[in-house]
Amino acid sequence: MVRAIALSIALLIGIGAVIPLATQMAEAGQKGSKRYKKRHRSWKGVKKYSKRWWQLYRAQERRKKARAQRRRQLRLRQLRLAGVKEQNKPAAATASRSNPPEEKTTAMLPSGEAAPAGWKRSQASSSELQFSVDEGNGTASISVVGPASGESVDSGRHRTVGGVPTTSLRREVINRMIRENGWVVNDYQKDIAGKPVYVVVAQSQGQGGRVNSRMFYFTEVNGRIYSVATNSNTGSAERIAEESEKVIFSLQGRSRPIQASVRE
């Protein structure tokens, strides 16, 4: 009997000592876990205001500024393209009210002037104006590539259009030709109305194995880089090129007539 009582007392003393120790260990484990999570959220233990902390902070701010700048540029491009689309609405509405039926289909350029004869509006979106040319056998489009970032340069390997390297513009054409089963033939820079214009000549596979002529013109006008792209039969390529240069004249605000074709 005495032995049973002594054993019970020993068990009670042991349980009383184990419970506080287990509670203390559990609380210590929770605190350690919280400290680990806190260190994980604060750049993995980098001391605040240390040299490394300032390096990480400046890099983070640079990334934020770069993202904000990209968003501003994208928004600016969208606004400019929307402005080009809105600019054509009053002229089209006036023509529909005051001109004969045949004038209602007159295609208008972003400059507000009439497009070359044979250029008919086909589609319009927030990114470009599209035309049907060569009696429906070809297409043309006018779009804003983006804002200019400097002056145009035509010297050596550092040729630019509005501060954008021509190598970047050529790469855009190459990527487009890859998507459309085409290839780039040549590129060069020429002056139109005293302003440098970058031209990329390409070709693509048409229906029935026919080879189509593709021309891409890039020019800077009022802080924007415009692209005039055409797709036509090789037999009409020269005439379409002349009409494209008239469009460039119009975008640059020149007074060259654009309705009559240069070819007789």
**45 lies in some domain:** no
**122 lies in some domain:** yes
Residue 75's alpha-carbon distances to 140, 147, 166, in angstroms, are 25, 11, 24
**Shortest CA distance to 85 belongs to which of 114, 138, 123?**
123
| Number of structural domains in the chain | 1
**51 lies in some domain:** no
Least confident of 35-44, 80-89, 133-142, 179-188: 35-44
SS3 label, residue 90: helix
**191 token code pair:** 């002056």
In which domain, by residue range, is 175 found? 72-251
Whole-angstrom Cα distance, residue 210 to residue 233? 8
pLDDT of residue 28: 54
Residue 94's alpha-carbon distances to 102, 108, 251, in angstroms, are 14, 12, 21
Q: What is the CATH number of the domain that holds 145?
A: 3.40.1000
Pick the more confident residue, 102 or 157: 157
**Shortest CA distance to 259 belongs to which of 247, 251, 248?**
247
High-pLDDT (> 90) share of the chain, %: 18
Q: Is the pTM of this model over 0.75?
A: no
**142 lies in some domain:** yes
The mean predicted confidence, pLDDT, of the chain is: 78
Q: Which residues contact 240 (CB under 8 A, 6 or more apart)?
A: 133, 134, 138, 140, 213, 215, 230, 232
**116 lies in some domain:** yes
Mean pLDDT, rounded, for 123-150:
82
* pLDDT tens track for 1-29: 767 777 777 776 766 665 665 565 655 55
Task: Find out whether 189 and 179 touch, Cβ atoms under 8 Å.
Answer: no
Angle at Cα 260 formed by Cα 256 and Cα 264, nearest 5°? 115
High-pLDDT (> 70) share of the chain, %: 75
Whole-angstrom Cα distance, residue 1 to residue 56? 73
* Residue 264 clears pLDDT 60, i.e. is over it: no
pLDDT of residue 37: 47
**21 lies in some domain:** no
**56 lies in some domain:** no
Whole-angstrom Cα distance, residue 170 to residue 228? 14
* pLDDT tens track for 197-240: 999 999 998 777 788 999 999 998 888 889 999 998 888 888 98
**31 token code pair:** 């605190």
Query: Which residue type does 155 have?
Result: S
User: For the chain, what is the largest distance between any 2 Cα atoms, rounded to a whole number of angstroms?
Assistant: 131
**123 lies in some domain:** yes
